[in-house]
């Protein structure tokens, strides 16, 4: 099983000490040339007069944009210690037991607009970059990553087992291999209020984090979408929907109570 997570906009601040990021030491070395290009463009963009507009952020995070200009020198630490926010608070990776942490190290990948894909133990610095940002001298990031990311995800998924896609639509646009479509399951969240079900957005991040944690703690290793539905149904009501077209993923709706 491979669990694919999005990054978070919020990051924990860097520590006072520690080695900086070593691009050559990150997982998926085939992504290094693209990482170098995006990293250089992010530094240049963050130093530009229109940095906030290009990175699509407000004045409140201006210090984080300035910090981007020093990103190659910032202390790095494991990715799951850097990302914070709703999904990562629900996942609470730091409180996982030893066995669940080992499963996360080999079975979780975080897809981001800066690194492409990283494993939980890959050491990265905090940064501010949305995949929709407009970097100086660079094309749009989604199609750029679609050229190189899918083969890396194929390698990460291995020859069998489901791919649990917990990304938002923005990061899904970075690519998922068609070769994995028949065993990829996108996690959707529905709210049930007196028998009426509706899609949710902010709560979806929280629930996806809980689903990832549940699968890691349960030592689940489903080989099929149906097997994944059974594993998640141990905790929540679920609805499994087959692909709507060739090359599309399955959808697993996780139903949460309103309130």
Taking only the tens place, the pLDDT of each residue in 200-238 is 776 899 999 999 999 999 988 999 999 999 999 999 999
Rounded distance between C-alpha atoms, residue 210 and residue 249, angstroms: 21
- In this prediction the pTM is 0.95
Per-domain residue ranges of the chain? 2-257
Provide the 3-class DSSP secondary structure of residue 196: strand
156 contacts 184 by C-beta, under 8 angstroms: no
Nearest to 63 by CA among 80, 46, 50, 77: 46
Percent of the chain with pLDDT over 70: 99
**Is residue 16's pLDDT more than 90?**
no
Q: What is the pLDDT of residues 168-195, one digit of tens each?
A: 999 999 999 999 999 999 999 998 877 7
Beta strand 184-193 with 196-199: parallel, antiparallel or unpaired? antiparallel
Beta bridge mates, 77: 124
Mean pLDDT along residues 10-35:
94
Interacting residues of 37 by C-beta distance below 8 A, sequence separation 6+: 138
Residues recorded for the chain:
259
HSE-up of 154 (CA within 13 Å, CB side)?
Answer: 13
> Can you give the pLDDT at residue 259?
65
Which residues, other chains included, contact 76 with Cβ-Cβ below 8 Å and sequence gap of 6+? 14, 18, 19, 20, 21, 22, 123, 124, 125
Using pLDDT thresholds of 50, 70 and 90, give the confidence band for residue 29.
very high
Q: Where are the beta strands (DSSP E) in the chain?
A: 2-5, 77-78, 108-112, 116-118, 123-124, 163-165, 184-193, 196-199, 238-241, 250-257
Contact by Cβ (8 Å): 31, 119: no
């Amino acid at each position: 099983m491979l669990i694919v997570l999005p990054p978070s906009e919020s990051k924990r601040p860097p520590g006072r000490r520690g080695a900086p990021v070593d691009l050559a030491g990150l997982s998926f070395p085939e992504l290094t040339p693209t990482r170098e290009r995006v990293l250089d463009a992010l530094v240049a963009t963050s130093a530009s007069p229109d940095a906030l507009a290009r990175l699509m952020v407000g004045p409140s995070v201006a210090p984080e944009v300035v910090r981007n200009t020093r990103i190659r020198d910032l202390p790095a630490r494991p990715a799951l210690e850097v990302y914070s926010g709703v999904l990562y608070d629900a996942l609470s990776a730091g409180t996982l037991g030893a066995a669940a942490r080992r499963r996360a190290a080999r079975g979780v990948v975080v897809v981001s607009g800066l690194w492409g894909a990283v494993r939980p133990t890959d050491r990265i610095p905090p940064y501010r970059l949305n995949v929709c940002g407009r970097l100086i001298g660079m094309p749009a990031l989604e199609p750029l990553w679609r050229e190189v990311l899918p083969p890396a995800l194929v390698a990460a998924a291995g020859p069998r087992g489901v791919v649990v896609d917990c990304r938002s639509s923005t990061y899904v646009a970075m690519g998922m291999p068609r070769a994995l479509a028949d065993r990829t399951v996108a996690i959707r969240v529905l709210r049930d209020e007196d028998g009426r079900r509706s899609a949710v957005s902010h709560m979806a991040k929280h629930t996806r984090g809980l689903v990832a944690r549940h699968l890691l703690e349960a030592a689940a290793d489903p080989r099929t979408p149906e097997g994944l539905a059974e594993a998640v149904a141990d905790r929540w009501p679920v609805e499994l929907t087959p692909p709507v077209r060739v090359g599309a993923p399955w959808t697993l709706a996780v139903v949460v109570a309103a309130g």
